[in-house]
Amino acid sequence: MGKTFEYAPAPESRNVVDLASSYGLFVGGRFVDPADGTSFKTVNPATEEVLAEVAEAGQADVDAAVAAARRAYDEVWGPMPGRERAKYLFRTARIVQERSRELAVAESLDNGKPIRESRDVDLPLVAAWFFHYAGWADKLEQAGYGPDPQPVGVAGQVIPWNFPLMMLAWKIAPALACGNTVVLKPAETTPLTALLFAEICQQADLPAGVVNILTGAGETGRRLVTHPDIDKVAFTGSTDVGRQIARSLAGTDKRVTLELGGKAANIVFDDAPVDQAVEGIVDGIFFNQGHVCCAGSRLLVQENVHDEVLERLKARMATLRVGDPLDKNTDVGAINSAAQLARIRELSAVGDAEGAERWSAPCALPDHGFWFAPTVFTGVTQAHRIAREEIFGPVLSVLTFRTPAEAVAKANNTPYGLSAGVWTEKGSLILWTAERLRAGVVWANTFNKFDPASPFGGYKESGYGREGGRHGLAGYLR
């Protein structure tokens, strides 16, 4: 270990995606200019190059999009039999597959994630989500939600920047399968794949107004979720914004699901196969630059194997390739924005100040764009902010434990409850631990695995409601 081969660059072609210089809003099946003509730029975080100018939706645009979604719901999509809706969803899934290379490149350009991840993880899951929910559209009576479940109506959906197209699929596929129409707002730093998805809706001949895409920042999101003619709000993002949304909707009859932040424990017992556990730790925190709500950002390692695990972890981290997201050899890409980089730096500096010991992988970082080397903090205690707050970057905090009971107590000592990991060769210890962890998902001897048939969601400040599988239908049926 410790030595890496020099790889020749293996760049994916940027030319497979044809980006327009500017994009309007997608309302009622057409791209339209925003009523007040405002726009913003979206940049490639790896180079800071402007990729496109994107419209910023104001109140009049939100009104128009919600009205279009309402019309489509009343006149076309709501009354349409499930087996007909399924055809559109299957068609959408197939077009996503056909255009997956182009969509993966666009995602990596706008988000900064390595092409290996957008190509091999995000896009296959996006297609899988549409296939899965296409299969449910004509079987809702058998889903366990009563003999004649009905759609909720018009859904306002707001998503974050870490998995832009995947979060879109998690929102739109179940909503449409159940007969709802949607107005979706992508995050302001990653609007492009949602706009390409709008083109796919046109290509699939989806009836006008069933899907509407409004680009814009937090204010656009706020206008959308508080709009009086929205029946259901589905939000994925930070706990702070989730709290604001819950507060602003309290007392209304809107349905709400919130998928929020996390601070997952990845627990390594002393009998775990160390090399596999190290791969799982790396995947848990450095996948997608650590911009993952369920990232294994707190490593809880049994005290007697701490030194061995850390030594092998650092050796493995030294081999991670950080750089050009479009290079097929890249393991860790760019941080999504200057603001996110500032937050990662700030919390890491707090880790230093509070006395934890920082070690970063020795890697050359590009001169332009937003970058942060994979980093591990040892000597972290539960009182440290880096053990309590979500950093949402490639930064791992390491704590130790002696007994299974102590591992569980420390793992649960967090306001969040989204996910956790357990590494041991004993099945009984996996079950004992998993039963006691207050987390929506517990992975055993693996991490960050997603499947459209499997529900995903949180406890406590990680939110409420489940996405994925049969459970994911519940939020979109009444």
Q: Pick the stretch among 15-23, 180-188, 350-358, 374-382 that binds ligand NAD (CB under 6 A).
A: 180-188
Residue number, 111 or 462, with CB nearest to ligand NAD: 462
Selected from 171, 185, 306, 460, the binder of ligand NAD by CB under 6 A is 185
Listed in sequence order, the DSSP H helices in 335-436 are 338-353, 385-388, 404-412, 427-436
Task: Kindly state the tokens that stand for 125.
Answer: 């899951």
Sign of the dihedral through C-alpha 267, 268, 269, 272: positive
State which residue, 235 or 269, has the beta carbon closest to ligand NAD.
235
Q: How far is the CB of 44 from ligand NAD (least distance, A)?
A: 18
Residue 13's SS3 state is coil
Spatial strand order of the sheet with 154-158 comes to 30-32, 25-27, 211-213, 181-185, 154-158, 232-236, 255-259, 463-464
Instruction: Decide if residue 244 touches ligand NAD (CB under 6 A).
Output: yes
What span, in angstroms and rounded, lies between the C-alpha atoms of 332 and 341?
A: 14
Q: How far is the CB of 350 from ligand NAD (least distance, A)?
A: 17
Identified binder of ligand NAD from the candidate list 29, 34, 45, 160, rule CB under 6 A: 160
Q: Is 455 in the site for ligand NAD (CB under 6 A)?
A: no
CB of 217 to ligand NAD, least distance (A): 5
Residues forming the active site:
259, 293
Are 180 and 43 a contacting pair, CB within 8 Å?
A: no
Shortest Å distance, C-beta 262 to ligand NAD = 6
Please, which residues have CB within 8 angstroms of residue 60's CB and are 6 or more apart in sequence?
Answer: 35, 36
Is residue 133 within 8 A of residue 173, CB to CB? The reply is: yes
Q: Closer to ligand NAD by CB, 274 or 350: give it.
A: 350
Question: Can residue 182 be called a binding residue for ligand NAD (CB under 6 A)?
Answer: no
Q: Select 140 or 167, whichever has its Cβ closest to ligand NAD.
A: 167
Could you count the other beta carbons within 10 Å of the beta carbon of residue 237?
A: 23
Provide CB contacts within 8 A for 82, sequence distance 6+: 137, 138, 139, 140, 177, 179
Cβ atoms of 361 and 320 within 8 Å: the answer is yes
Stretch that binds ligand NAD, among 38-46, 160-168, 249-257, 372-380 (CB under 6 A): 160-168
How far apart are alpha carbons 158 and 290 in whole angstroms? 21
Amino acid letter for position 353: A
Instruction: Rank residues 137 and 184 by Cβ distance to ligand NAD and give the closer one.
Output: 184
Residue 389 binds ligand NAD (CB under 6 A): no
Q: Does residue number 392 form part of the binding site for ligand NAD (CB under 6 A)? A: yes
Q: How far apart are CA 449 and CA 218, in angstroms?
A: 30
Q: Does residue number 245 form part of the binding site for ligand NAD (CB under 6 A)?
A: yes
Q: Please identify which residue in 107, 110, 188, 283 interacts with ligand NAD, judged by CB under 6 A.
A: 188
CB of 364 to ligand NAD, least distance (A): 28
Query: One symbol per residue from 54 to 93: x for binding ligand NAD (CB under 6 A), - otherwise; what is it?
Result: ----------------------------------------
Kindly tell me which residue out of 93, 241, 272, 300 binds ligand NAD, with binding defined by CB under 6 A: 241
State which of positions 252-291 bind ligand NAD (CB under 6 A). 259-262
Among 42, 47, 193, 236, binds ligand NAD (CB under 6 A): 236
DSSP type of residue 121: I
| Pair 136, 452: CB distance under 8 Å | no
Find the shortest distance in angstroms from Cβ 185 to ligand NAD. Answer: 6
233 binds ligand NAD (CB under 6 A): no
Closest to ligand NAD by CB, 151 or 164: 164
Residue with tokens 């197209």: 165
Binding mask 6-45 for ligand NAD (x = CB under 6 A): ----------------------------------------
> Tokens 């960050």 appear where?
448
Question: SS3 for 108?
Answer: helix
- Determine the 3-state secondary structure of 29 from DSSP: coil
Say how far apart CA 151 and CA 2 lie, in whole Å: 56
Instruction: Please count the other Cβ atoms lying within 10 Å of the Cβ belonging to residue 435.
Output: 9
Structure tokens at 340: 């996110």
Q: Is 158 in the site for ligand NAD (CB under 6 A)?
A: yes
Tell me the residue number closest to ligand NAD, measured at CB: 221
Interacting residues with ligand NAD (CB under 6 A)? 158-162, 185, 187-188, 217-218, 221-222, 225, 236-238, 241, 244-245, 259-262, 293, 390, 392, 418, 458, 462-463
